[in-house]
Amino acid sequence: MYKILLKRIIDITFSFIALIVLIPVIFIISLAIIFQCGLPVFFYQERVGKNWKRFKIIKFRTMINHADNAGPDISTDNDARITKIGKFLRKYKLDEIPQLLNILKGDMSIVGPRPEIPKYVNDFSDEYIEILKIKPGLSDYAALEYSDEAALIKSSFNAEEYYKSNILPEKIKLYKRYIREISFLTDIKIILRTFKSIIRQ
């Protein structure tokens, strides 16, 4: 019952209220990005969602324009493509705020496995058969465990290879753990831990 109906009701209610409350914050961040880096304010990237359906994830832009053409899909703390305002937004996870629109639309949930780009999903397609039975989310066990992911990768010569070989397999284990434990109480615990993690930054 929770996974089928209640979780979606909570997603709609939370994302709608959060978007209304955060309008001033969204406005200020948008202006800051425009003044420092120009347009566009938002960054769109294709991700794979429930039942292998692809969608465009929405984030505040934290990198130079067309950064996806100037380097790998994986970024590190010392990535020269990240703007000054982008570093601040990433530190406090503020770049994720626009994903509330993805949740409201139904592409994502508040809690669930983080949505991955198609090429990494294809590389681990057998593992994702189970993972993509539910909607991806803003936060989960893996997002909490790897909140400093960029810092872990920065010392690697090949960031993408390190991510695929060392980080993504561990994330997949945590995604599957969430699927096994999914419940209203589990989601509340993850949400509270996520807020605590952000506050401690």
Q: How many CB atoms lie within 10 A of CB 71?
A: 16
pTM for the structure as a whole: 0.93
200 — phi, psi (to 5°)? Answer: -75, -10
Reported as a single tens digit per residue, the pLDDT across 76-117 is 777 889 999 999 999 999 999 999 999 999 999 999 999 999
- Provide the percentage of residues in the chain whose pLDDT is more than 70: 97
DSSP H helices, 132-167, are: 141-145, 149-153, 159-162
38: tokens are 């120009």
End-to-end alpha carbon distance in the chain:
36
pLDDT at 147 > cutoff 90? no
Contact 117, 73 (CB under 8 A): yes
pLDDT at 17 > cutoff 90? yes
Eight-class DSSP state of 115:
P
Reported as a single tens digit per residue, the pLDDT across 29-84 is 999 999 999 999 999 999 999 999 999 999 999 998 877 776 777 887 778 899 99
User: Among the listed ranges 26-40, 157-171, 178-192, which one has the minimum average pLDDT value?
Assistant: 157-171
The stretch 6-35 carries a mean pLDDT of 97
Where are the chain's structural domains?
A: 2-199
Give the pairing type, strands 54-60 and 42-48. antiparallel
pLDDT of residue 166: 92
Long-range pairs for 31-35: beta carbons < 8 A, 24 or more residues apart: 32/85, 33/60, 33/61, 33/83, 33/85
